[in-house]
Structure 1
């Protein structure tokens, strides 16, 4: 199925596996790429040295195009951009709008720039700055999210920009792909669906928690870092929502100290990164530290399997997912479902 996305990045199918921290590592990204979709490596939870090694590992596993996701507001964003360019990565994906200068630097090197956005005005801004495409995430999506549904946000953005638009938030099968194409999208991006594959390195106990979840078990909370964050409702989420400011601050400091140790960041750098996530919102100091500490809360679940101590970012679609196919099986299934949906659409008259 050829679309503006497949032509832009050189993949076979208009499907994107999103850059989920601690989840989208070399194994998942290369399996996605080998299946003919666009895999995106998550770099925000990696040091620059780890990023270089991860990119080279993906390249050793596949010859297909793939991308790297990074935070535009990170203090070392420019260094990460240079790694992407030096290693010949096809796509740079951004969790926040990159600057005009970063976009220009990447495009001059032949890298395709695809920021993720959650509002029409953000899409218009990055398109004007030269972004090649955008991933539009509606409120159904996991992690930090907005409150506008994909079915409302997607057509807004499609009508506002003249670059390919990839739909995210609430997609897991071929019917969703066809619906997104009907809205004018060039493909769909999926996070939770790719997390729940046999190629994902997420521990089995965590996958089981996702598979057992109903749609109502996926909630949006601001208790983790002061920003709307969609995740599975767990005992930790309940505790954070009940805890007072002092208890939340102590929890944040302990976790942030752990992230400081493994990341090599200074306290000043961690607070700066936490402040960068405020997006103009009034956050307490515990929330600022929790924002910087969020990677550790994700790591506890996604790497260590501690569903009691970590958070599990999740799209609402988790309530509909019931199995763990390989990436190859998933991509084949989605495309087969899409072709069937297209064939069986009612015709006028």
Structure 2
């Protein structure tokens, strides 16, 4: 399927596997790339050296284009950008809007820049700064998310910018791809659907929790880091929401100490990272610490399999997913469903 997005990044299918921390590692990214979609490596949970090794591992596994997701506000963002350029990575994506200077540096080196946004004004800003495309996530999407549904946000952004728009939030099959194209998007991006594949390294017990979830089991909470965060509802999430400030601070300090030991960050550096994630919000100190070490909470579930001690970011589509195909099987199925849906629409038009 040929769209403005497939032409821009050089993939066969207009599908993106998003850069999920602790999930989107070399195995999943290379499997996605080999399936003809765009795999995106998550770098926020890696050190600079780990990122370089991961990029090289993906390159050793596949010749297909892939991307790297960065935190634009990270103190070492410049070093990570240099790795992307030096290693010949095709796409740089961002969870937060990168600066005009960062976009220019990447574009000058021939890297395609695709920020993720959750509001029309943010899409307009990065488009004016030279971004090549945008991923637009509606409120159905997992992780940090907004309040506006994809079906409302997507056409708004498509009408506002003149660059390819990739739709995220609520997509998992070929019918959704066709719907996104009908809204004017050039492709779809999926996180939870790729997490729930046989190529994902997430522990089987954690995948089972996702597969057992209904739509009502996916909630939005601000208890983790003070920002709206869509995830599976668990006893741990309930405990965070019920904790008083003193207890929440004690929990945050304990987990922050663990993350500091693992990451090598100093306490001042962790506090700076937490404060950088406030985005103007009035966060308590426990929320600032939790914001700084949210990666540790995700690692507990996504790597260690501790669903009792970690959080499981999730889109609402978890409630309608019931299998674990390989990335190739998933992408092929989506494209087949999309073609069948398009043929059905053609028959409707012909019958008029």
Same fold (TM over 0.5): yes
> 2-side partners of 1:49 and 1:268: how far apart?
22
2:101 alignment counterpart: 101
1:340 alignment counterpart: 340
1:282 alignment counterpart: 282
Shift of 1:310: 0.4
3-state SS, counterpart of residue 289 of structure 2: helix
Gaps of 5+ in 2: none
Report the aligned-residue RMSD: 0.5
Shift of 1:269: 1.2
3-state SS, counterpart of residue 349 of structure 2: coil
> 2-side partners of 1:85 and 1:273: how far apart?
25
Shift of 1:27: 0.1
Gaps of 5+ in 1: none
Shift of 1:267: 1.1
2:167 alignment counterpart: 167
Shift of 1:88: 0.4
> 1-side partners of 2:211 and 2:65: how far apart?
30
> 2-side partners of 1:258 and 1:49: how far apart?
20
> 1-side partners of 2:328 and 2:316: how far apart?
23
Shift of 1:293: 1.2
3-state SS, counterpart of residue 344 of structure 1: helix
Shift of 1:244: 0.4
Which structure 2 residues correspond to residues 145-160 of structure 1 after superposition, within 5 A? 145-160=145-160
> 1-side partners of 2:275 and 2:255: how far apart?
16
Listed one character per residue, the Cα deviations across residues 31-67 of structure 1 (whole Å, up to 9, x for unaligned) are 0000000000000000000000000000000000000
Shift of 1:283: 0.4
1:17 alignment counterpart: 17
TM-score normalized by the length of structure 2: 0.99
Which structure 2 residues correspond to residues 102-141 of structure 1 after superposition, within 5 A? 102-141=102-141
Shift of 1:342: 0.2
2:34 is equivalent to residue 34 of structure 1: yes
> 1-side partners of 2:29 and 2:261: how far apart?
27
3-state SS, counterpart of residue 40 of structure 2: strand
1:203 alignment counterpart: 203
Aligned positions, number: 349
Shift of 1:175: 0.1
2:218 alignment counterpart: 218
3-state SS, counterpart of residue 246 of structure 1: helix
Shift of 1:179: 0.1
3-state SS, counterpart of residue 250 of structure 2: helix
Listed one character per residue, the Cα deviations across residues 59-115 of structure 1 (whole Å, up to 9, x for unaligned) are 000000000001000000111000100010000000000000000000000000000
Listed one character per residue, the Cα deviations across residues 287-332 of structure 1 (whole Å, up to 9, x for unaligned) are 0000011000000000000010000000000000000000000000
> 2-side partners of 1:258 and 1:108: how far apart?
39
3-state SS, counterpart of residue 283 of structure 2: coil
Listed one character per residue, the Cα deviations across residues 215-241 of structure 1 (whole Å, up to 9, x for unaligned) are 000000000000000000000000000
Which structure 2 residues correspond to residues 320-331 of structure 1 after superposition, within 5 A? 320-331=320-331
3-state SS, counterpart of residue 347 of structure 1: helix
2:235 alignment counterpart: 235
Shift of 1:255: 0.9
2:57 is equivalent to residue 57 of structure 1: yes
> 2-side partners of 1:183 and 1:98: how far apart?
26
Shift of 1:28: 0.1
3-state SS, counterpart of residue 216 of structure 1: helix
2:178 is equivalent to residue 178 of structure 1: yes
> 1-side partners of 2:235 and 2:55: how far apart?
36
Shift of 1:258: 1.1
3-state SS, counterpart of residue 293 of structure 2: helix
2:244 alignment counterpart: 244
3-state SS, counterpart of residue 75 of structure 1: coil
> 1-side partners of 2:45 and 2:143: how far apart?
14
> 2-side partners of 1:103 and 1:252: how far apart?
35
Which structure 2 residues correspond to residues 69-108 of structure 1 after superposition, within 5 A? 69-108=69-108
2:271 is equivalent to residue 271 of structure 1: yes
Shift of 1:128: 0.3
2:67 alignment counterpart: 67
